[in-house]
């Protein structure tokens, strides 16, 4: 377990997993040489790290992140502290902060395998960069079967993305527009034989995503079942409308 976080030049905004004293210390840190960290400071950082590990074992992820932040006040050059905090931030869904921490861990220790792995997991929405990081992980740790599997899967994803870009029907016609056109033309209707979870419709016949549907869908996924492709499209399109 490991994590990357902030150092003297860190301008990252405060995370909920940072203590008040941590934030103050980050603003005042003038240390630029790891050798300048005293043995006493290293010992205190190690003590706080151990407390963070204990909180982690209890699944107290936010509390563990705070402990690692406090430890970084005493030793801001310990890559394992940044990597540990990155993992906690992954757990509490502070994804941007997790990437930031993992990046710092890599900067401090370019051969830190665990930091590369956590960096790539959080950067997976940028698959091209993920391929680079996974390759580095495999290079540093050839026996990491999981990383090899992820690398193969990510390479396939990148190739698929590039293929889909190559076959786009004109620059003006977006994927969303094409999906809506296909639906309007009846190209993605729900089969009469479909017996899975059904997406409700409103008075106008428009599909609506409510909590009951979400609960039923999650239950179906847990049972190893899937939903109709049309419903998956409706979820994606609704998300697009919400975020665009």
CATH number at residue 22: 1.25.40.10
Residue whose C-alpha is closest to residue 218's, from 227, 209, 230: 227
Q: Would 158 be classed as within a structural domain?
A: no
44 in a domain, yes or no? yes
pLDDT tens across 69-97, in order?
A: 999 999 999 989 998 998 898 788 676 67
**Res. 22 pLDDT band, cuts 50 70 90:** very low
Q: Is residue 88 part of a domain?
A: yes
- DSSP-derived secondary structure letter, 107: H
- 197 in the same domain as 97: no
Tally of domains within the chain: 2
- The answer to whether residue 89 is domain-embedded is yes
Q: Is the pLDDT of residue 125 over 90?
A: no
Whether residue 74 contacts residue 45, with contact meaning beta carbons closer than 8 Å, is answered with yes
Domain boundary among 108, 135, 161: 108
The 10 Å CB-count burial string (b at 16+, else e) for 76-99 is bbbbbbbbbbbbbbbbbebeebbb
Residue 141 phi/psi, 5-degree rounding, is -135, 75
Which stretch, 7-11, 30-34, 127-131, 179-183, has highest mean pLDDT? Answer: 179-183
Residues ≥6 apart with Cβ < 8 Å to 102: 3, 4, 82, 83, 86, 115, 116, 118, 119, 122
- Tokens 């540093």 correspond to 140
What's the distance, CA 65 to chain centroid? Answer: 16
Question: Could you give the CA distance from residue 209 to residue 212 in angstroms, rounded to a whole number?
Answer: 8
Q: Is residue 7 part of a domain?
A: yes
| Parent domain of 36 | 1-108
Q: Which residues pair with 207 in a beta bridge?
A: 201
- Within a domain: residue 140? no
pLDDT at 5 over 60: no
Structural domain ending residue among the three candidates 108, 130, 162: 108
């Amino acid at each position: 377990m490991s994590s990357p976080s902030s150092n003297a030049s860190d301008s990252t905004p405060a995370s909920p997993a940072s203590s008040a004293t941590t934030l103050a210390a980050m603003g005042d840190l003038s240390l630029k040489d790891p050798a300048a960290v005293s043995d006493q400071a290293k010992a205190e950082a190690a003590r706080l790290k151990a407390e963070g590990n204990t909180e982690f074992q209890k699944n107290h992820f936010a509390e563990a992140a705070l402990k690692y932040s406090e430890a970084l006040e005493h030793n801001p050059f310990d890559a394992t502290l940044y990597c540990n905090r990155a993992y906690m931030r992954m757990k509490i869904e502070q994804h941007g902060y997790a990437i930031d921490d993992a990046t710092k861990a890599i900067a401090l220790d370019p051969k830190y395998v665990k930091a590369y792995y956590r960096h790539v997991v959080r950067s997976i929405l940028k698959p091209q960069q993920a391929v680079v990081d996974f390759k580095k992980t495999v290079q540093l740790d050839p026996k990491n079967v999981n990383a090899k599997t992820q690398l193969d899967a990510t390479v396939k994803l990148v190739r698929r993305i590039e293929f889909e870009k190559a076959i786009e029907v004109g620059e003006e016609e977006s994927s969303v527009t094409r999906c809506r056109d296909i639906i309007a033309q009846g190209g993605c209707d729900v089969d009469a034989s479909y017996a899975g979870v059904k997406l409700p419709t409103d008075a106008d016949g428009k599909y609506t995503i409510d909590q009951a549907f979400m609960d039923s869908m999650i239950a179906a996924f847990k049972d190893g079942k899937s939903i109709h492709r049309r419903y998956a499209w409706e979820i994606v399109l609704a998300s697009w409308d919400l975020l665009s």
